[in-house]
């Protein structure tokens, strides 16, 4: 009885052992082939090489990347700055931000601006995002045209370009503006608040406008202003300028001697270039700062020069070394009549000596 039981137990153990699949290292079961009749015995793994150099990738096709909505994302070309998914309205708005070449450009509408903001990643949801906050944040303060300054003009870094933009006044400028160009417009007046608070403004170029008046406080409170370029306007009076000015260009205006306050240039200790040609001046505005290097007064109505205009009549040892460029041609004056007026200069003024 015991012997038959023992043999039965041994037979049961042997049967279970043969029925169970063999185990591999780690205790995991070996996977069985999915398809009947498939055998791994015919695979030759001896030639397997994990090096990618041995594989032919010429027929490889990149799988399409899908977005969050399960739609294939279109490929974006590397050689373009505007994504291919950008709307036509957005491209038209972007076109208005490019430098102008004389061709009229349709000004964008509010919907165009919203499309552009959306393309930039700005989401307008409910009342959380107000347009009066977006305008100054991205495109500067609103101008009289109802659009931000940086859409009417072109803003590159801290420079604002408003050339040939049909402006009738100075637009509100971003606080960080350092260089401002508004040439070839219809600006007729500069008011005190036009440049208020622009403490970093270094250059103002208003060539070829219709400016006849500049209020006194409009420029005097600009501590960083170095260049004021206002030729081809209708100025009769020069405004007060800050002591930081290095270059003043007011050629082709209507300036007269009475339009320049006495000793206007005396406190401009950094002034190097003073261009007042093609005006209606009848005398040279004195005193001239010792820093002056170039003085252009051609084509005016100057008839006389005082001996102390350039030099110190009482100190014959005084030499004005930096003033090497003086132009007085085109004036009704004979420069040879005042020979003692030039002894301190490194070069004689250009003009008539007959």
Rounded to 10 degrees, what is the CA torsion of 327, 329, 330, 336?
Answer: 130
Among 63-67, 201-205, 275-279, which stretch is predicted with the lowest mean pLDDT?
63-67
DSSP β-bridge partners for residue 232: none
Of all residues in the chain, what percent are helix, strand and coil, respectively (each to 5)?
20, 10, 70
Global pTM value:
0.63
* pLDDT band, very low/low/confident/very high, at 55 (cuts 50, 70, 90): very low
Q: When comparing pLDDT for 211 and 115, which is higher?
A: 211
> Residue 141: its pLDDT value, please?
56
> Residue 62: its pLDDT value, please?
43
In this predicted structure, the answer to whether residue 124 has a pLDDT above a threshold of 90 is no
Q: When comparing pLDDT for 260 and 1, which is higher?
A: 260
In this predicted structure, the answer to whether residue 82 has a pLDDT above a threshold of 90 is no
* pLDDT band, very low/low/confident/very high, at 139 (cuts 50, 70, 90): low
> Residue 114: its pLDDT value, please?
57
As a whole number, the mean pLDDT across the chain is 74
Among 157-171, 184-198, 257-271, 273-287, which stretch is predicted with the lowest mean pLDDT?
257-271
In this predicted structure, the answer to whether residue 143 has a pLDDT above a threshold of 70 is no
- CA gap 326, 227 in Å, rounded: 20
Quote the DSSP letter at residue 176. Answer: T
Helix (H, G, I), strand (E, B) or coil at 316: coil
Instruction: Tell me how long the chain is.
Output: 354
Tokens 């994302």 belong to residue: 73
Report, as an integer, the average pLDDT of 132-144. Answer: 49
> Residue 176: its pLDDT value, please?
94
Report, as an integer, the average pLDDT of 287-299. Answer: 96
Rounded to 10 degrees, what is the CA torsion of 262, 268, 274, 276?
Answer: -30
Measured over the CA atoms of residue 157, residue 101, residue 253 and residue 149, the dihedral's sign is negative
> Residue 53: its pLDDT value, please?
47
> What does the pLDDT look like over 146-156, one tens digit per residue?
568 888 899 99
- CA-based radius of gyration for the chain: 41
Which H helix or E strand runs over 119? helix 110-119
> Residue 15: its pLDDT value, please?
52
- CA gap 311, 56 in Å, rounded: 87
Opening angle at CA 348, ends 344 and 352, nearest 5: 140
How do strand 154-156 and strand 159-161 relate by DSSP bridges?
antiparallel
Among 123-137, 220-234, 269-283, which stretch is predicted with the lowest mean pLDDT?
123-137
> Residue 121: its pLDDT value, please?
52
Closest C-alpha to 279, from 301, 249, 304: 301
- CA gap 302, 162 in Å, rounded: 36
> What does the pLDDT look like over 173-225, one tens digit per residue?
999 999 999 999 999 999 999 999 999 999 999 999 999 999 989 999 999 99
Query: Would you say 354 and 336 are in contact if contact means Cβ atoms under 8 Å apart?
Result: yes
> What does the pLDDT look like over 22-54, one tens digit per residue?
554 444 444 444 444 444 444 444 444 444 444
């Amino acid at each position: 009885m015991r012997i038959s039981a023992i043999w039965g137990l041994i037979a049961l153990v042997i049967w279970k052992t043969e029925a169970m699949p063999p185990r591999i290292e780690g205790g995991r079961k070996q996977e069985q082939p999915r398809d009947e009749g498939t055998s791994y015995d015919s695979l030759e793994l001896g030639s397997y090489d994990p090096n990618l150099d041995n594989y032919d990738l010429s027929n490889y096709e990149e799988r399409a990347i899908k977005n969050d909505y399960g739609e294939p994302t279109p490929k974006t070309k590397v050689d373009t700055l505007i994504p291919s998914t950008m709307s036509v309205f957005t491209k038209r708005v972007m076109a208005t931000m490019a430098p102008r070449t004389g061709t009229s450009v349709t000004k964008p509408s509010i919907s165009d601006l919203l499309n552009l903001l959306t393309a930039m990643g700005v989401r307008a949801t409910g009342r959380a995002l107000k347009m009066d906050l977006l305008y100054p944040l991205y495109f500067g303060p609103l101008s009289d045209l109802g659009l931000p300054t940086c859409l009417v003009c072109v803003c590159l870094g801290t420079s604002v370009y408003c050339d040939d933009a049909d402006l009738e006044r100075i637009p509100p400028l971003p606080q960080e503006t350092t260089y401002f160009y508004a040439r070839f417009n219809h600006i007729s007046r500069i008011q005190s608040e036009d440049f208020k608070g622009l403490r970093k403004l270094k250059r103002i170029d208003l060539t070829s406008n219709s400016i006849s008046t500049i209020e006194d406080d409009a420029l005097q409170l600009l501590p960083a202003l170095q260049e004021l370029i206002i030729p081809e306007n209708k100025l009769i009076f020069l405004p007060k300028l800050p002591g930081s000015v290095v270059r003043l260009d007011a050629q082709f205006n209507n300036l007269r001697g009475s339009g320049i306050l006495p000793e206007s240039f005396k406190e401009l200790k950094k002034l190097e270039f003073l261009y007042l040609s093609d005006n209606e001046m009848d005398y040279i505005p004195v005193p001239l700062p010792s820093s002056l290097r170039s003085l252009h007064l051609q084509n005016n109505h100057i008839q006389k020069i005082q001996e102390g205009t350039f030099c110190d009549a009482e100190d014959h040892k005084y030499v004005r070394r930096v003033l090497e460029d003086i132009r007085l041609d085109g004036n009704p004056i004979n420069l040879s009549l005042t020979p003692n007026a030039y002894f301190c200069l490194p070069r004689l003024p250009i003009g008539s000596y007959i």
